Amino acid sequence: MWQKTFDVMGQRGEVVVDAGASRSLADRLAGSGLDAAGLVVADERLGDRVGALLEALAARGLRPALHLVRGGEAAKTWDTVAGILGAAVAAGVGRDGWLAAVGGGVVTDVAGFAAAVYLRGVAWAAVPTTLLGQIDAALGGKTGIDLPEGKNLVGAFHLPRWVLVDPGWLATLDRVAWRSGWGELVKTALLVGEDAWAAVCAAPPAWEDPAPALALLETAVRHKVEVVEADPRETGLRATLNLGHTVGHAWEALSGYTVPHGEAVGVGLLAALTLSERMLGLAPHYRRDLLAVLGRWGMPTRLGTWPLDRWWAVLRRDKKRRAGQMRWVLLRRPGEPVVTTVPDSEVGAVLSALGGDG
């Protein structure tokens, strides 16, 4: 078990990583001084598994109402938020009431956003149920929804009072959802250092044997929490969490978001390691090991193909730009990220090498 209380931008939260951590929600809420009435917002795929949670809450004198929402990116809309807010009103959730989000990154993003705006902000708990949610989306306090014009264009910073990371939920993930989180876990291992990287290289696909991948859960959660706490406004260190995301995001956007995020990040990491070899002298065996890891997990190792000017058009919209310059996260070695500029010629060469321009 790993547990940490942390402060981000004046808000306080507690993160727990433990088998069975979600069972502690009832005790935590009951001992918090919050009202009894609250709303559990759960992914509808988990509808039959939240019953035990609701019973535990009721047994501690709480009055949880249940509101089911659909997982998947298409649910990150105003309509879903409106549904949650209406359910909160109907459940009699007051200013000292609470929301609890049980689901993947979509549910925690959208329910966290509803908690941020309902009565100008109520306490909420996150019970992430996907690997991506557990190591990334539920941590750090960013909540929000998409607009037709783009992803995550509306949001609020609202730190969950509790994030309960319970690997028990992951047993039912399909391969797409496992790979989605795995891309981020691979990235985190490269940021953490050699031991974490060695563990990633040795892990079989989680649907064959989840234990080695799950052994990295705590390392990944700890890393994100420590980085967010050290740099909540993303002025320096937090930018390193974007390793692999510059090319990964561009590929997702070019594909109209049909390429799953984790798979795009996987090839984005290949691009980052190739640039790191060329610019910083990173040893080439890391890239070869990454190729083997992605291959073993059935993830792509080549980019989709578009003309280079289309790549540049989306790359230049990257949010990590500062003073007109694109900033790349590269690696000197595992555990030593460097945020830097890269000549266009190098980027073009790497996109071509990965099949991006055909």
Ligand X SMILES: NC(=O)c1ccc[n+]([C@@H]2O[C@H](COP(=O)([O-])OP(=O)(O)OC[C@H]3O[C@@H](n4cnc5c(N)ncnc54)[C@H](O)[C@@H]3O)[C@@H](O)[C@H]2O)c1
Q: Which residues bind ligand X (CB under 6 A)?
A: 43, 45-46, 71-73, 76, 103-107, 109, 129-130, 132-133, 136-137, 140, 142, 152, 169, 172-173, 177, 180
Closest CB 279 distance from ligand X, rounded Å: 27
Structure tokens at 143: 């909540």
Q: Alpha-carbon distance 169 to 107, whole Å?
A: 14
- Provide the minimum distance between the beta carbon of 356 and ligand X in the complex, in angstroms, as a whole number: 23
Cβ proximity to ligand X: between 35 and 43 the closer is 43
| Token pair 């949001």 in the structure block, residue | 155
CB of 322 to ligand X, least distance (A): 21
Q: How far is the CB of 154 from ligand X (least distance, A)?
A: 12
In angstroms, what is the minimal distance from the CB of 5 to ligand X? 19
> What Rg, from alpha-carbon coordinates, does the chain have?
20
Q: Phi, psi (5° rounding) for residue 5?
A: -95, 135
Of the pair 140, 356, the CB lying nearest ligand X is at 140
Question: Count of alpha carbons within 13 Å of 168, Cβ hemisphere only?
Answer: 13
Residue 311 to residue 43: CA distance in whole angstroms: 35
How far apart are CB 79 and ligand X at their closest, in Å? 15
Nearer to ligand X, 116 or 354 (CB): 116
Minimum distance of ligand X from residue 282's CB (angstroms): 25
Residue 315 CB burial class (10 angstroms; 0-12, 13-18, ≥19):
buried
Question: Which residues have CB under 8 Å from 211's CB, separation 6+?
Answer: none
Pick the closer one to ligand X by CB: 136 or 263: 136
Q: Which is nearer to ligand X, 45 or 327 (CB)?
A: 45
Tokens describing residue 7: 């402060």
Q: Helices (DSSP H) in the chain: which residue ranges?
A: 25-30, 51-59, 78-90, 105-117, 131-132, 175-192, 194-202, 210-214, 217-230, 245-254, 261-280, 285-296, 308-315, 344-353
Closer to ligand X at the Cβ: 233 or 288? Answer: 233
- Measured from the CB atom, the residue of 205 and 342 that comes closer to ligand X is 205
Distances (CA, A) of 169 to 4, 166, 199, 347: 21, 6, 22, 39
What's the closest the beta carbon of residue 261 comes to ligand X, in angstroms?
6
The span from the first CA to the last CA of the chain, in angstroms, equals 47
Q: 352: buried, middle or exposed (CB in 10 Å: 19+, 13-18, 0-12)?
A: middle
| Minimum separation from the CB atom of position 49 to ligand X (A) | 8
When the beta carbons of 257 and 312 are compared against ligand X, the nearer one is 257
What whole-number distance in Å separates Cα of residue 180 and Cα of residue 159? 23
**Do the Cβ atoms of 320 and 268 come closer than 8 Å?**
no
Residue whose CB is less far from ligand X, 113 or 286 = 113
